[in-house]
């Protein structure tokens, strides 16, 4: 599973050091932040109902709807490798990927017939395609990093207030890797709004 954002950026932003969290060395700190970043990335993916990496050779089985447009399950589509209608493989000039108005670089996974035909009603259609993002959207990286920084700040404050600043974080880090992270590693409303344009859209 991909993790978004940068561990080093998070550490720099928060000013985190191994001593601040009672960890033995920089590697332990980076591992701790990596785990938080992975969990934050999962939260973002779950909210948006999509991943933000590249996926090749995805295969969807769809059924014709009697119109000239069908929609695959994932987007943005980067390449349509083949479209089979029943036992027939369509020629690439029989269909095209519909792009967003004014944005030829973006699409919502809608495939349109260009041969004056429709996708036959209830006919099985198998689409092999590539999809995803060659470059993770900046807002995704930023939201993940913000989530982790907030958790680190909370962890540091709780550790200081609990008088554990001079103790090892062995048991404490285990706690933060499980229960406490789930409480504080969340997408608040402002972060959800920032991700709004990247949420999976319904079938057109």
Chain segment 104-128, per-residue pLDDT in tens: 888 989 999 999 999 999 999 999 9
pLDDT at 171: 46
Strand order in the sheet with 103-113: 69-71, 103-113, 95-100
Map out the domains of the chain as residue ranges: 7-50+136-198, 54-132
DSSP per position, 83-105: EEETTEEPPGGGEEEEEETTEEE
Tell me the pLDDT tens digit for each residue of 3-60: 999 999 999 999 999 988 888 899 999 998 999 999 999 999 999 988 898 889 999 9
Q: What percentage of the chain reaches a pLDDT higher than 70?
A: 87
Q: Where are the beta strands (DSSP E) in the chain?
A: 54-63, 69-71, 77-85, 88-89, 95-100, 103-113, 124-132
pLDDT tens-digit profile of 88-109?
A: 999 999 999 999 888 888 898 9
Q: For residues 16 and 193, what is the distance between their CA atoms, to the nearest angstrom?
A: 28
Q: pTM of the prediction?
A: 0.71
Q: Which of 127, 66, 63 is nearest to 95 (CA)?
A: 127
Tokens representing 116? 């004056």
Q: How confident is the model at residue 139 (pLDDT cuts 50, 70, 90)?
A: very high
| Cα–Cα distance, 159 to 151 (Å, whole number) | 12
Q: Are 201 and 171 in contact (CB under 8 A)?
A: no
Tokens of 21: 């969290």
Angle between helices 26-48 and 138-161 (to 10 degrees): 130
Query: Quick one: pLDDT band at residue 165, thresholds 50, 70, 90?
Result: very low
Between CA 103 and CA 146 the distance in angstroms is: 29
pLDDT above 90 for 204: no
Residue % of the chain over a pLDDT of 90: 61
Q: What integer pLDDT is reported at residue 181 of this predicted model?
A: 58
Distance CA 178, CA 203 (A): 37
Per-state percent for the chain, helix, strand, coil, to nearest 5: 40, 25, 35
| pLDDT of the residue at 162 | 62
Taking only the tens place, the pLDDT of each residue in 170-183 is 444 544 544 555 57
Residue 110: strand pairing partners = 71
What is residue 124's predicted lDDT score, i.e. its pLDDT?
Answer: 97
């Amino acid at each position: 599973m991909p993790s978004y954002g940068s561990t080093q950026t998070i550490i720099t932003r928060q000013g985190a050091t191994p001593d601040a969290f009672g960890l033995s060395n920089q590697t332990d700190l980076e591992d701790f932040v990596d785990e938080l970043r992975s969990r934050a990335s999962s939260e973002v993916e779950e909210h948006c109902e999509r991943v933000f990496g590249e996926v090749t050779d995805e295969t969807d089985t769809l059924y014709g709807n009697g119109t000239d447009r069908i929609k695959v399950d994932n987007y943005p589509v980067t390449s349509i490798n083949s479209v089979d209608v029943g036992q027939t493989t369509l020629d690439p000039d029989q269909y095209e990927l519909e792009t967003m108005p004014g944005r030829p670089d973006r699409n919502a996974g809608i495939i349109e017939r260009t041969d004056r035909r429709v996708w036959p009603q209830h006919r099985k259609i198998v689409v092999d395609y590539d999809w995803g993002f060659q470059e993770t959207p900046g807002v995704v990286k930023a939201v993940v990093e913000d989530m982790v920084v907030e958790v680190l700040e909370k962890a540091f404050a709780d550790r200081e207030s609990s008088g554990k600043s001079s103790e090892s974080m062995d048991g404490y880090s285990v706690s933060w890797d499980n229960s406490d992270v789930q409480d504080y590693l969340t997408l608040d409303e402002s972060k959800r709004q920032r991700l709004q344009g990247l949420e999976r859209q319904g079938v057109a």
